[in-house]
Amino acid sequence: MMQDSLQLRVLDLEVPVLTGIYSEETHLPQPLRISVIVDLECHPRYDPDTLLSASKNYMDLKHAAMAALPVDQHFTLVEAVADHICETLMVQDRRVQRVQVDIVKLAIAEKDESIGISLVRHRR
């Protein structure tokens, strides 16, 4: 039997983050393009007057990818940035069942390439 699902998306946020392993990367924030997709427990029905509490505010996803990242924290790997975002969303709301974070390192891209990672975490 197939289950209903709800995915919330916040895509292509440009966020400056202290990340990198090379000396030229460790002193200044690098621009990252971050997208967040969250699978949420699905409400049985969404009527026209359904309250926001039956879903999740998109701004929570944006906050996890921007404001919730510590400004003075250096992340050696972008995977750690993605993990921090996943953890923030999982801790914030028990209804979050899965988080996917896609990160593109803009500083190393040439000719519109998308060089980066996708991290998917499931609630256990």
pLDDT of the chain, 124 residues: tens digit per residue = 778 889 999 999 999 999 988 766 677 899 999 999 999 999 899 999 999 999 999 999 999 999 999 988 999 999 999 999 999 999 999 999 999 999 999 988 888 889 999 999 999 8
Answer yes or no: is 24 within a domain.
yes
**120 half-sphere exposure, CB direction, 13 A CA radius:** 5
Total domains, the chain: 1
Answer yes or no: is 39 within a domain.
yes
Answer yes or no: is 48 within a domain.
no
What Rg value do the Cα atoms of the chain yield, rounded? 16
Report the CATH number at residue 103.
3.30.1130.10
Answer yes or no: is 121 within a domain.
no
Domain range for 16: 6-43+53-109
